[in-house]
Amino acid sequence: MHSTKKADNPGAAVDAEASWIRRVADAAIEHAREAGSSTIVCASGISPSGPIHLGNLREVMTAHLVAEEIKARGLAAEHIHSWDDYDRFRKVPAGLPAEWNAHIGKPLAAVPDPYGRSDSYAAHFITRFTAALQRLGVRMREIRQSEQYPAGTYNASIRQAMDHRAEAFDILERFQTEGRHERSVEDRKAAYYPFKPYCEECGKDLTEVTAWAEGVVSYRCRCGHQDRMSIADGARISGKLVWKLDWPMRWAFEGVDFEPAGEDHHAPTSSFASGRELVGELFDGTAPSTTVYSFVGLAGGKSKMSGSAGGAATPDDALGILEPVMVRWLYARRLPAQSFTIDMSPSAIVRLYDEWDRYTVRAQSPDASGVEAHLHQTCVETSTGPVEHTARPVSFRLLSSAADITDANPEQIERLVRPQLEADGASLPDDTALLAELEPRLHNAVNYARSLPPEDRTVIRTTFNAEAWSNMDDKSRDGVRILNARMTEAWTLDGLTTSVYAVPKLLEGLAEDADPTPELKKAQRTFFKALYQLLCSSDTGPRLPTLLLSIGPERARELLGHEA
């Protein structure tokens, strides 16, 4: 359970300094009290029309974080998640066989899995996403609309919508943009039915309702089939309410108290705006408390990801490189309305680990603000227990460099990491146990190293680079000699960092703590290039202190010390 201190009054904010999660939870609790809810229902929903990406994750994480905050206050809360796998298959994502065009118009749950791994197209993406959610500590009650609708679960609500289709049309028409339709309002109203059947013959929604009487829908399909369908209680059906009625219907049916929604759904003419009226007028319910969330983009890609378009990064992609607590942190630390970009480039990943490690130290210190401590707690623990994270968070720079240099050999990685930890005064277990304590960060570092393009991989030389030494200027040779002499004084990451950056200053006749200048930075680049040439026959590479630590003192002295 959360170790965050509960308020004396259940449901009250824990302290005056409130994160966005607490503020949104306050509104959800107030809504639930007004509605008389005994359990506060927080909802999310996704249509599994393709890879469920990091943009989709924002909806789920927002609902999850708010539900967790409510539970931490000692109140009953539930996170429900609707899989809209009864939505129509609209288009074939890039990379799939063209013959899947034949399935357009069928429910997503009725389309075969092109990868042959699951019982349907929808299930393939749902399974992949929910496996990632398990690692992220997200637990929710999942509702498959492909099971709910056919079973007749919503039949009473469908009848209500069909019986009051004129009122529904009038409400929706007020939210429509003028000039969009060629037909008159009267003609469109007469032809409007909020229920869309799936044809019993071809299985597609290329249908048109022709009549509604005494709980029976009559329809015809473009395939030529005509049929009637009973919407009586308990009758199995094939079809669903159109989206703008489906959403408010489920608010009322599930008693939803809070549900986040994207910017597009919160526009003045959007489905949330019309849903606020429809839920009361047609379904005798109330619209939930909500918060608007903005899009999540990828560096170098489109600002908004699209699952049905394919190619978007998914949560399991991120978890291959980032710890679960860090993925939670990406979403928890920003206001939902703030759009952000996830940069999965190599340099950005290393910086993100450094930032997370600094944040963890700060959040766990006595001087941490209430928001910092609360958000960190939210990232590392849920109501069901701790979220997967590394017990011994060694520098990701060191781990990834060690994985790169050793070709991910666990024994060699352990040999390189142990001296750094011992220098920090840590009490260490045996080899195997130490490697276990480095997970999942070690696994992520290996994935990171293996994902680097060939030109960015580091290949350490096996012999002294006599050619590079002969081409080096005298000042650089003197610098190598100085560094070689100093390295034995402090073979730690901090000690090597001090030495590597001190040498160029000494060569310029400056004090070791001199501030950087343009001239000094130029001298540093020249010296660092000389070191990289001696170590790996390259002009660049991993940060030199990390690289030297990974190589080890004996091999480093051999590569830098010959003829020096």
Instruction: Look up the CATH number of the domain holding residue 176.
Output: 3.40.50.620
- Contact by Cβ (8 Å): 546, 401: yes
CA angle 303, 247, 212 (to 5 degrees): 130
Output the 3-class SS for 279-316.
Answer: HHHHHCCCCCECCEECCEEECCCCCCCCCCCCCCCCHH
Q: In which domain, by residue range, is 534 found?
A: 466-561
Instruction: Flag whether 362 is in a domain.
Output: no
HEC profile for 61-101? HHHHHHHHHHHHCCCCEEEEEEECCCCECCCCCCCCCHHHH
Kindly state whether residue 544 falls inside one of the protein's structural domains.
Answer: yes
Assess if residue 72 is contained within a domain: yes
- Is 49 found in the same domain as 198? yes
Q: What is the pLDDT of residue 490?
A: 72
What is the structure's pLDDT at 17?
54
d(CA 122, CA 118): 9
59 phi/psi in degrees, rounded to 5: -60, -45
Tell me how many degrees the CA angle 53-56-57 measures, rounded to the nearest 5.
90
Instruction: Determine which helix (DSSP H) or strand (DSSP E) holds 158, and give its type and residue range.
Output: helix 155-163
The verdict on 557 and 449 lying in the same domain is no
Residues 231/262, Cβ–Cβ less than 8 Å = no
Residue of higher predicted confidence among 304 and 378 = 378
pLDDT over threshold 70, residue 306:
no
C-alpha pair distances (Å), 326 with each of 18, 379, 380: 21, 7, 9
Strand partners, 262: 293
* Mean pLDDT, rounded, for 405-414: 88
Q: Is the predicted pLDDT of residue 431 greater than 90, yes or no?
A: no
CB atoms within 10 A of CB 563: 9
174 in the same domain as 94 = yes
Q: Does residue 451 sit in the same domain as residue 529? A: no
- Write out pLDDT tens, residues 83-96: 999 999 999 988 88
How many CB atoms within 10 Å of residue 431? 13
pLDDT of residue 167: 97
What pLDDT, on a 0 to 100 scale, did the predictor assign at position 16?
Answer: 38
- Tell me which of 253, 278, 293 is where a domain ends: 293
Q: Is the pLDDT of residue 310 over 60?
A: no
Q: How confident is the model at residue 179 (pLDDT cuts 50, 70, 90)?
A: low
Domain's final residue, options 435, 456, 477: 456
User: Where does the pLDDT of residue 445 fall: very low under 50, low under 70, confident under 90, or very high at 90 and above?
Assistant: very high
For residue 446, tell me if it sits in a domain: yes
Number of Cβ atoms within 10 Å of the Cβ of 435: 17
pLDDT for res 311: 55
Q: Say which CATH number the domain at 475 has.
A: 1.10.10.350
Token readout for 241 is 């309410």
Is the domain of 484 the same as that of 534? yes
Could you tell me if 26 and 60 lie in one domain?
Answer: yes
User: Residue 19 — φ and ψ, nearest 5°?
Assistant: -75, 170
Bridge partners, 143 (sequence order): 82
Least confident of 124-128, 335-339, 440-444, 511-515: 511-515
Amino acid present at 104: I
Per the structure, the count of domains in the chain is 3
Residues 68 and 199 in one domain: yes
What's this model's pTM, rounded to 2 decimal places?
A: 0.86
Regarding whether 272 and 154 lie in a shared domain, the answer is: yes
CA distances from 199 to 87, 240, 373 (A): 14, 12, 55
Residues 289 and 405 in one domain: no
Q: Could you say which of 252, 271, 293 is where a domain stops?
A: 293
| 264 and 157 within one domain | yes
Q: Are 228 and 280 found together in one domain?
A: yes
